[in-house]
């Protein structure tokens, strides 16, 4: 009967697959739990992050013989549905599976919950400590008042990005009026506050003609906001919007005939670039650490390899590469995978990233200090495009070691 046949076929393929991937099931793998959304509305971002981790771990660590004399990195995907509650459940799952390394990036809310829970856990269970590698959650609080020894951030935080972004704005004497708009939650507010602070300090003559928060994920039509922006006469727009809120806002602004640059944090990839296409050219600017165009040879090769495996995905969070490399380096330096030793090795680490630039993990707050780029959405001189659209981000300006001088309110408590 059909069942028997099926079982036979499947057993055959199973055996085949097992022989294929058998190596990665070795017992002494260093397992890294990836806690991010893999289902629900934010799954696209989570999925591409996961693929990047997988690919980076495979090509940069495992294919080169692993760490600590042949131990492999194994990324364990755990779906948190972008919910803090689910994240904590997954954290507990990771703990019970003996995992000591957590990576997460999407949503500062989740990151806050995780860092808090990990701090509590490590205090309550000193024999089973966890390290939290944050590759994308940029709420400044995480490396300021909420900092702890176990949390490391590999992305520039919202303040650092704004510092870099306002440097560019400050240099452009044509910009006289700025409109700030963002999502109504902690990150959006942090962006707005930072923008006001830095513009006020660097170019007091710039008038902030609008400082607006809109409900996150609830706005159907951004045209009314665009109308306001247009009638305010703004020369530049700053927004921290992401996801559907970014697409909607950007499109509405362009359609309303606003002829001003839109400075964004997340105005690319995940369908956003493809949606803007021609309309976004020389309008959308993105501030981030990625250096897509012109790419370094190493990065270009890495991206090509990644695209071969994931043709529909983008390498949109390239800092993940550095996260994996630095973790591997810290383990080699510590000579063990003991979390406290590895964390101590990570503190203050200097490293040259895939773009050939120097980065530094600041010990005082565990915030990475790296170059931050202001890039523009265009189809000219694009070698590494986004959404396979032919459009991509071209680096216009680079701020070296962005945020190096920004103070932190972190009082780091190290385990004795």
Q: Would you list the DSSP string of 58-116? A: IIIIGGGT-BTTTBPEEEEEEE-TT-HHHHHHHHHHHHHTT--EEEE-S-HHHHHHHHH
Q: Which of residues 5-34 bind another protein (CB under 8 A)?
A: 5-6, 9-11, 13-14, 16-18, 20
Q: State yes or no: residue 305 binds another protein (CB under 8 A).
A: no
296 vs 305, beta carbon nearer another protein: 305
5 vs 173, beta carbon nearer another protein: 5
171 vs 184, beta carbon nearer another protein: 184
108 vs 370, beta carbon nearer another protein: 108
Query: Is residue 410 classed exposed, middle or buried when 0-12, 13-18 and 19+ CB atoms within 10 A define those classes?
Result: buried
Q: State yes or no: residue 228 binds another protein (CB under 8 A).
A: yes
Q: State yes or no: residue 325 binds another protein (CB under 8 A).
A: no
231 vs 409, beta carbon nearer another protein: 231
Q: 284 vs 155, 259, 366, CA distance in Å?
A: 21, 11, 31
Q: 53 vs 57, 165, 176, CA distance in Å?
A: 6, 28, 42
Q: Report how far residue 245's alpha carbon sits from residue 241's, in angstroms, rounded to the nearest whole number.
A: 6
- Which residue in the set 25, 26, 28, 39 belongs to the binding site for another protein (CB under 8 A)? 39
6 vs 358, beta carbon nearer another protein: 6
Q: State yes or no: residue 217 binds another protein (CB under 8 A).
A: yes
- Spacing of C-alpha 68 from chain mean position: 27
Is 391 in contact with 377 (CB distance < 8 Å)?
A: yes
Q: Which of residues 46-85 bind another protein (CB under 8 A)?
A: 47, 51, 78-79, 81, 83-85
3-state helix, strand, coil in the chain (%, to 5): 45, 20, 40
- Residues binding another protein: number (CB under 8 A): 89
Q: Which of residues 118-177 bind another protein (CB under 8 A)?
A: 120, 124, 139
- Which residue in the set 214, 319, 362, 366 belongs to the binding site for another protein (CB under 8 A)? 214
Using DSSP's 3-state secondary structure scheme, residue 396 falls into: strand
Q: State yes or no: residue 329 binds another protein (CB under 8 A).
A: no
Q: State yes or no: residue 92 binds another protein (CB under 8 A).
A: yes
Biggest distance spanned by C-alpha atoms of the chain: 81
Task: Please give the radius of gyration of the chain, using alpha carbons only, rounded to the nearest integer.
Answer: 22
Q: Report how far residue 298's alpha carbon sits from residue 303's, in angstroms, rounded to the nearest whole number.
A: 9
Q: Which stretch binds another protein (CB under 8 A): 172-180, 302-310, 325-333, 346-354?
A: 302-310
Q: State yes or no: residue 413 binds another protein (CB under 8 A).
A: no
Q: State yes or no: residue 394 binds another protein (CB under 8 A).
A: no
Q: State yes or no: residue 89 binds another protein (CB under 8 A).
A: yes
Which candidate, 162, 134, 139, 137, places its Cα nearest to that of 361?
A: 134
115 vs 370, beta carbon nearer another protein: 115
Counting every residue written for the chain, the total comes to 416
Long-range contacts of 282-286 (CB under 8 A, 24+ apart): 282/376, 282/377, 282/378, 283/254, 283/377, 284/250, 284/376, 284/377, 285/261, 285/374, 285/375, 285/376, 285/377, 285/396, 286/374, 286/375, 286/376, 286/377, 286/393
Q: Which stretch binds another protein (CB under 8 A): 43-51, 149-157, 170-178, 287-295?
A: 43-51
Q: Which of residues 109-128 bind another protein (CB under 8 A)?
A: 109, 112-113, 116-117, 120, 124
Is 287 in contact with 265 (CB distance < 8 Å)?
A: yes
> Is the sign of the CA dihedral 148, 149, 154, 159 positive or negative?
positive
Q: State yes or no: residue 193 binds another protein (CB under 8 A).
A: no
Build a one-symbol-per-residue string for 229-258: x at contacts with another protein by CB under 8 A, - elsewhere: -xx------------x--xx--x---xxx-
- Which residue in the set 104, 107, 144, 373 belongs to the binding site for another protein (CB under 8 A)? 107
Q: Which of residues 264-283 bind another protein (CB under 8 A)?
A: 270-272, 274-275, 277
Q: In whole angstroms, how close is the CB of 41 to another protein at the nearest point?
A: 5
Q: In whole angstroms, how close is the CB of 255 to another protein at the nearest point?
A: 5
């Amino acid at each position: 009967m059909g069942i028997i046949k099926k079982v036979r076929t499947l057993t055959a393929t199973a055996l085949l697959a097992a022989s294929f991937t058998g190596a990665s099931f070795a017992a002494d793998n260093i397992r890294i739990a990836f806690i991010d959304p893999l289902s629900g509305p934010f799954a696209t971002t989570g999925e591409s992050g996961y693929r990047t981790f997988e690919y980076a771990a495979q090509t940069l660590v495992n294919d080169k013989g692993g760490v600590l004399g042949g131990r492999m990195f194994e990324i364990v995907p755990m779906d948190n549905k972008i919910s803090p509650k689910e994240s904590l459940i997954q954290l507990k799952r990771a703990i019970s599976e003996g995992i000591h390394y957590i990576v997460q990036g999407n949503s500062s809310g989740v990151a806050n919950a995780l860092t808090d829970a990990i701090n509590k856990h490590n205090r309550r269970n000193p024999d089973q400590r966890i390290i939290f590698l944050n590759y994308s959650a940029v709420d400044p609080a995480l490396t300021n008042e909420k900092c702890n020894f176990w949390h490391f951030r590999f992305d520039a935080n919202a303040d650092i990005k704004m510092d870099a972004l306002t440097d560019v704005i400050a240099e452009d004497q044509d910009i006289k009026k700025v409109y700030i708009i963002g999502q109504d939650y902690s990150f959006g507010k942090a962006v707005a506050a930072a923008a006001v602070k830095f513009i006020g300090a660097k170019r007091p003559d710039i008038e902030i003609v609008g400082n607006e928060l809109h409900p996150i994920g609830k706005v159907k039509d951004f045209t009314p906001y665009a109308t306001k922006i247009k009638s305010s006469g703004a020369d530049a727009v700053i927004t921290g919007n992401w996801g559907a809120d970014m697409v909607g806002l950007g499109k509405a602004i362009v359609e309303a005939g606003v002829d001003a640059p839109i400075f964004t944090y997340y105005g690319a990839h995940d369908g956003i670039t493809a949606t803007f296409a021609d309309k976004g050219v020389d309008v959308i600017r993105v501030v981030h650490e990625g250096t897509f165009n012109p790419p370094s040879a190493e990065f270009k090769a890495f991206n090509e390899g990644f695209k071969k495996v994931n043709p529909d995905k983008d390498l949109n969070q390239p800092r993940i590469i550095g996260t994996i490399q630095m973790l591997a380096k810290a383990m080699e330096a510590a000579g063990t995978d003991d979390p406290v030793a590895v964390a101590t090795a990570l503190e203050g680490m200097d490293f040259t990233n895939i773009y050939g630039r120097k980065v530094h993990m600041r010990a005082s707050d565990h915030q990475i200090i790296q170059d931050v780029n202001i890039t523009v959405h265009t189809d000219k001189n694009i070698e590494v495009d986004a959404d396979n659209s032919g459009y991509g981000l071209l680096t216009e300006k680079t701020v070296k070691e962005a945020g190096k001088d920004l103070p932190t309110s972190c009082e780091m408590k190290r385990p004795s």
